Amino acid sequence: MKPLPLYRIYQLMNNMINNHLSVLVHRRAEKYGDKVALKYRDYETSQWIPITWNQFSQTVRQVANALVELGVQEEENIGIFSQNKPECLYADFGAFANRAVTIPLYATSSPAQAQYIINDAQIRYIFVGEQFQYDAAFSVFGFCQSLQQLIIFDRAVVRDPRDMTSIYFDEFLETGKGLPNNDIVEERTSRASDDDLANILYTSGTTGEPKGVMLHHSNYIEAFRIHDIRLVDMTDQDISMNFLPLTHVFEKAWTYLCIYKGVQICINLRPVDIQTTIKEIRPTLMCSVPRFWEKVYAGVQEKIAQETGLKKAMMLDAIKVGKIHNIDYLRKGKTPPLMLHLKYKFYEKTVYALLKKTIGIENGNFFPTAGAAVPDEICEFVHSVGINMLVGYGLTESTATVSCFLNSGYEIGSVGTIMPDVEVKIGEENEILLRGKTITKGYYKKAEATAAAIDKDGWFHTGDAGYLKGDQLYLTERIKDLFKTSNGKYVSPQALETKLAIDRYIDQIAIIADQRKFVSALIVPVYGYVKEYAKEKGIEYKDMEELLQHPKILGLFRARIDTLQQQFAHYEQVKRFTLLPEPFSMERGELTNTLKLKRPVVAKNYKELIDKMYEE
């Protein structure tokens, strides 16, 4: 191999120095100055408040100095237990300047979950967001020997009368005013290296206790490099809506990437408000999970169902034309025929434009989507109407992206093309194995779990099954989640759940099959749609439980399920189902913080209902 020229070595070293998370914000402030870096919504005035790069940088410096004032040491673990707020980023980058490690907790974490993480990581200081997080953290204070102080972001939080140690973020920030400890911060920053630990991200886990995934600065620096190669359309003119929790690697790594690229980040505080905030910001970029697009699809299908005559025909034709133009031609790198192209352009200015404006994405550049399987119908529809959804696949352990769609040449049903310099191979049981500089070095204080996940040749075992077709990656199932019926047949619950969840009447679904003689399902309906249907059909009922047991409602769901599951083998199809009057919940332990089903808990909580479905 030829040695690298000196200019290239200098360029790579310069890149590392300027893109290390300990200095990243400051380097971008030097470049962008008074350009807007962040925005957040003031709920009292309904206004979006801008924060410039210079302000961002200055606040990070103050936080870094205030952390020294607290006595935070290099390589110390610091907790951030909050919903998405600018303060989360201030705390992150202030910690990195001190070579400290940040550990985000989901805003919805229970006291028990918070207690486990605080004790496992021996956290002394934890930043908390609003009242819920404060109450949860304070309630376990006495059970966490390491914990010394809570720092509260929101001034509206009411402290417990017994609380003698907590301070508000503005009070904390005041101790860093004038940068009294800047010499110490600068000295620590000068020692920062790629090998420093940046984050410990605790995966909530559908079984067993959480594992802390260690992500080093080298993981993020490599992620920046390979995304530079792949996402060439991403520039400092883009505006990104920060919607998913910053606790999740998808949004966290994406937000760091946006800072690296100089993208303006608009921080959505309350996930339920996204339909409002997205229209206020009208972003060019936004990470999302498939459920967001499933709801868009369901809304369009509902609209089409309500229309008649010419308007309905026009909407159906627009989707058909878009499919031929974008999927049959452009996706394959072919030029569409002139008449088709002209027709597409007409719909682009009418039907598609109206749809995008209604959602709030008429300025859209591209929209990364991951976290669960994207149903083929959804993927096809979104691309047909000219929305550039980049389907991808990744894990916390891979610093997010392993693969993602290219602008053309993507295959519907796949999770895209492997990222540059990420090695992928298929192992035993068709398990996807990964190797590369974005892959974690292991789990925090869990040597056995690390050894089980990363083999002697450095391959990380994902637990996901799939296959490669050229450089396109396809997922088939989660190996550990494969169900084996009592008849010896294997069933993939995710495949069925993904297929059935696109139905507009189904909100949540849990497939039951393990060691059972056939497949059944627990279904949480979209209650509003069920009520509308009951009204149309003149069905009388006293409560939701009675309505969901009505023969006409059961018949409606039976017909819709049978239509959707036709492509599955007979033994894979849902034979019986139960409609639940209440949704699955995190409070009852049935969902993780990322809203994945905890199957053992569901099986336990609904044992009687499940057993009833298998009675002769």
Rounded-to-integer distance, Cα 482 and Cα 539, Å: 39
Is 508's pLDDT higher than 60? yes
**Does 159 or 112 have the greater pLDDT score?**
159
Is 347's pLDDT higher than 80? yes
How distant, in Å, are the alpha carbons of 297, 332, 417, 517 from that of 411?
20, 9, 9, 36
- Going across the sheet that includes 506-512, the strands are 506-512, 519-525, 574-579
Is residue 391 within 8 A of residue 416, CB to CB? The reply is: yes
How does DSSP assign 221-239, residue by residue? HHHHHHHHHH-TT--TT-E
Angle between helices 111-121 and 131-139 (to 10 degrees): 60
Q: What is the mean pLDDT of residues 306-325?
A: 93
Rounded-to-integer distance, Cα 616 and Cα 614, Å: 6
**Does 169 or 592 have the greater pLDDT score?**
169
Rounded-to-integer distance, Cα 398 and Cα 440, Å: 6
Rounded-to-integer distance, Cα 380 and Cα 495, Å: 17
- Burial of 170: CB neighbours in 10 Å, binned 0-12, 13-18, 19+: exposed
Q: Under 8 Å CB-to-CB from 190, ≥6 apart: which residues?
A: none
User: What is the share, in percent, of the chain residues with pLDDT greater than 70?
Assistant: 96
> 70-99 pLDDT, tens per residue?
999 999 999 999 999 999 999 999 999 999
Question: SS3 sequence, 261-278?
Answer: HCCEEEECCCHHHHHHHH
Report the pLDDT value the prediction gives residue 11, as an integer from 0 to 100. 47
Provide the pLDDT confidence category of residue 13 given band limits of 50, 70 and 90: low
How distant, in Å, are the alpha carbons of 108, 220, 273 from that of 286?
22, 19, 15
Is 490's pLDDT higher than 80? no
Rounded-to-integer distance, Cα 85 and Cα 441, Å: 29
- Burial of 398: CB neighbours in 10 Å, binned 0-12, 13-18, 19+: buried
Rounded-to-integer distance, Cα 546 and Cα 537, Å: 15
Single-letter amino acid code for the residue at 128: V
Rounded-to-integer distance, Cα 133 and Cα 87, Å: 14
Is 12's pLDDT higher than 50? no
Range of weakest confidence among 203-207, 210-214, 306-310, 373-377? 203-207
How distant, in Å, are the alpha carbons of 60, 73, 218, 473 from that of 24?
11, 20, 13, 32
Q: Under 8 Å CB-to-CB from 197, ≥6 apart: which residues?
A: 75, 101, 214, 215, 216, 217
- Going across the sheet that includes 264-267, the strands are 47-52, 36-42, 264-267, 239-242, 285-286
Range of weakest confidence among 30-44, 366-380, 437-451? 366-380
3-state secondary structure of 198: strand
Provide the pLDDT confidence category of residue 210 given band limits of 50, 70 and 90: confident
Structure token pair of residue 230: 């792949």
Q: Kindly give the pairing relationship between strand 197-203 and strand 367-369.
A: unpaired
Is residue 217 within 8 A of residue 192, CB to CB? The reply is: yes
> Quick one: DSSP state of residue 335?
P
Phi first, then psi: give them for residue 265, nearest 5 degrees.
-115, 125
Structure token pair of residue 96: 């990195």
- Kindly list the domain boundaries of the chain, sorted by start residue: 6-286, 290-436+470-479, 480-613
* Mean pLDDT over each residue of the chain, to the nearest integer: 92
Phi first, then psi: give them for residue 394, nearest 5 degrees.
-175, 175
Provide the pLDDT confidence category of residue 150 given band limits of 50, 70 and 90: very high
Report the pLDDT value the prediction gives residue 1, as an integer from 0 to 100. 42
Q: Give pTM, 2 decimals.
A: 0.85
Residue 11 CB neighbours (<10 A): 12
Report the pLDDT value the prediction gives residue 600, as an integer from 0 to 100. 86
Q: What is the mean pLDDT of residues 327-348?
A: 95
Q: Under 8 Å CB-to-CB from 104, ≥6 apart: which residues?
A: 79, 80, 81, 88, 199, 201, 246, 247, 252
Q: Do domains 6-286 and 480-613 have the same CATH topology?
A: no
Report the pLDDT value the prediction gives residue 429, as an integer from 0 to 100. 87
User: What is the share, in percent, of the chain residues with pLDDT greater than 90?
Assistant: 79
Class of domain 6-286: alpha beta
3-state secondary structure of 140: coil
Phi first, then psi: give them for residue 486, nearest 5 degrees.
-70, -10
Rounded-to-integer distance, Cα 486 and Cα 458, Å: 37
Q: What is the mean pLDDT of residues 25-42?
A: 97
Which residue(s) pair with 367 in the sheet?
389
> 529-583 pLDDT, tens per residue?
999 999 999 999 999 999 999 999 999 999 999 999 988 878 889 999 999 999 9
**Does 471 or 61 have the greater pLDDT score?**
61
- CATH level 3 topology of 480-613: GMP Synthetase; Chain A, domain 3 (3.30.300)
Is residue 398 within 8 A of residue 422, CB to CB? The reply is: yes
Is residue 477 within 8 A of residue 492, CB to CB? The reply is: yes
Range of weakest confidence among 186-195, 324-333, 589-598? 589-598
Rounded-to-integer distance, Cα 85 and Cα 81, Å: 11
* DSSP H or E run through 465: strand 460-469
Q: Under 8 Å CB-to-CB from 6, ≥6 apart: which residues?
A: none
